[in-house]
Homo-oligomer: A and B are copies of this chain.
């Protein structure tokens, strides 16, 4: 049983079905009726006017968002362990045309206003140094922690007071909201977020993420950048359909809850072994190499995470039956 990553899971049936439902001639690119629904559907979901487009990957969503928030000569504050810094091959640099990532510290890949100030306050306000223009946070973080509405709002206040844009990488936004139990607007625009990469692929989708701007005016240049990056699909309706299927009946939230539930099952079994609190669908365990090997010998696959740690990620479709044996094995270590 694989617990490498939620981004390798199968696609959920509602998304597969949606592909069939749009399999007909329609206007190319994003001129089809499904793509045109996105603005409205996300505005409804978030309770504010927003603009939303499909893009195929989280990296694309993040990079386009940051390019809308930061000029080529600017800097973007993010956590040292942020996906945009560690795992995106410099894509934010490419899309912004040369912006720099300014790296902050914090437990569990989580930034705080203090951590951000520690990055930006020492920057001399002169042309020799890259000036900050935006902040990017990941919710849930790369270590499975959820920023609460208050935590985001504290960062949002700082961003506003310094004139910085605020982006949220929501590759696991569903998991965060499912954990927080809040309205999705509470942890985004109401807390000062300007742009959200709303992830679906890790949550049961196939190839569609949403880039949502809570400042609608940011979309205009983004549409040019999306095309320029080769991201404007000819048959965009197959991406729109995936997203709409995930929004229908809050499937995104149900899938997020399901994955979180699996992670909690492991967390309870892990007890003292937990490296971070489990607030999403990722579980980081302290295990010796021998313990890791014994788990693998039982058929459980996962990544080592540095020395003496293991990362287990639960997917939307790994129900209790699938996870219970792993929980038992962990408890028995």
Residues of chain A touching chain B, judged by Cβ–Cβ distance below 8 Å, are: 2, 4-5, 7-11, 16, 19-20, 23-28, 55-64, 71-73, 86-91, 93-95, 97-100, 127-131, 201-202, 206-207, 221, 223-235, 238-239, 315
CB–CB A227/B88 < 8 A: yes
Chain B residues near A8: list those with CB within 8 A.
25-28, 234-235
CB–CB A28/B57 < 8 A: no
Closest to A62 in B: B230
Chain B residues near A90: list those with CB within 8 A.
73, 98-100, 130, 228
CB–CB B207/A233 < 8 A: yes
CB–CB B235/A201 < 8 A: yes
Cα(A72)–Cα(B73), bound, Å: 13
CB–CB A229/B26 < 8 A: no
Closest to A131 in B: B224
How distant is A52 from chain B, measured CB to nearest CB, in Å? 16
CB–CB B228/A229 < 8 A: no
CB–CB B231/A57 < 8 A: yes
CB–CB A56/B238 < 8 A: no
Chain B residues near A9: list those with CB within 8 A.
25
How distant is A96 from chain B, measured CB to nearest CB, in Å? 9
CB–CB A91/B230 < 8 A: yes
Chain B residues near A232: list those with CB within 8 A.
57, 59, 127-128
CB–CB B88/A98 < 8 A: no
Chain B residues near A5: list those with CB within 8 A.
28
Q: Give me 9 other A-B pairs in contact (C-beta within 8 A), A86-B129, A91-B228 excluded.
A: A7-B235, A8-B235, A59-B230, A86-B128, A90-B100, A91-B229, A94-B229, A98-B98, A207-B207
User: Which of B10, B20, B55 lies in contact with A230, CB distance below 8 A?
Assistant: B55
Closest to A24 in B: B10
Chain B residues near A229: list those with CB within 8 A.
60, 91, 94, 229-230
Cα(A71)–Cα(B226), bound, Å: 14
Cα(A243)–Cα(B63), bound, Å: 27
Return the 10 tightest CB-CB contacts between A and B, nearest first: A60-B230, A97-B97, A7-B234, A59-B230, A8-B28, A89-B227, A89-B228, A73-B224, A127-B227, A87-B128
How distant is A39 from chain B, measured CB to nearest CB, in Å? 16
How distant is A301 from chain B, measured CB to nearest CB, in Å? 10
How distant is A31 from chain B, measured CB to nearest CB, in Å? 9
Chain B residues near A11: list those with CB within 8 A.
23, 235, 238
